[in-house]
Amino acid sequence: GAGVSQSPSNKVTEKGKDVELRCDPISGHTALYWYRQRLGQGLEFLIYFQGNSAPDKSGLPSDRFSAERTGESVSTLTIQRTQQEDSAVYLCASPPPEGLHSGQYFGPGTRLTVT
Amino acid sequence: RKEVEQDPGPFNVPEGATVAFNCTYSNSASQSFFWYRQDCRKEPKLLMSVYSSGNEDGRFTAQLNRASQYISLLIRDSKLSDSATYLCVVNKGGANNLFFGTGTRLTVIP
């Protein structure tokens, strides 16, 4: 596709359940970022992938959060034992190959609601 | 101190007005700067990069003041469709040094 896609667009889950969010980056964009945006708040960095290098996980808020990416393809963000404070929009983004100085392209996000 | 700070607003302006937002950043080594637009319940979208010499795109003008460590966005002849949250973004360089402001909310009133 032409842009970053994410699925599902909306997810409602019960507290304590696990959820898996998916991001399909733009073809040819080797870097991929996950962010979280709580209602009325700014973007929080979660994790960064660059090609086959070890990911930068420094933004993950707890060990309940994990993410995977195989090569330069799809990434999945998994949240285990969800809590109400996990409710947010989870955004995936990738910069073009020339790098961050050209900006970021965001997917439409997954809106997660934990009840 | 936050890496990037913005006045959250809201700014409520009439159609046709000129409005300006500022954003300050804390790290003098920051290398590149952007304004993003985020509509309600949508993802952020790149509005414009901010160049050292300042740049203009139609009704939008962005400027960078390195000495005072701020960037600005000026919108002339505001349209109803300009209503959105405007995010200031700063790249300190390197692969993972992109910092987002919390955004300034603009509402253009008919």
**pLDDT at residue A23 tops 70:** yes
For B26-81, the pLDDT digits (tens) are: 988 888 899 999 999 899 999 999 988 889 999 999 999 999 999 999 999 999 99
Q: CA–CA separation, A8 vs A49, rounded Å?
A: 21
B102, A42: Cβ pair inside 8 Å? yes
**pLDDT at residue B96 tops 70:** no
Tell me the two tokens of residue A48.
């960064």
**pLDDT at residue A1 tops 60:** no
Q: CA–CA separation, B63 vs A92, rounded Å?
A: 28
CA distances from A45 to A29, A68, B9, B13 (A): 18, 16, 23, 32
pLDDT at A77: 98
pLDDT at A60: 95
A109, B43: Cβ pair inside 8 Å? yes
pLDDT at A96: 78
Q: Does A109 touch chain B (CB under 8 A)?
A: yes
Q: Does A7 touch chain B (CB under 8 A)?
A: no
**pLDDT at residue B82 tops 60:** yes
Please count the residues of chain B.
110
CA A114 to centroid of chain Cα atoms: 17
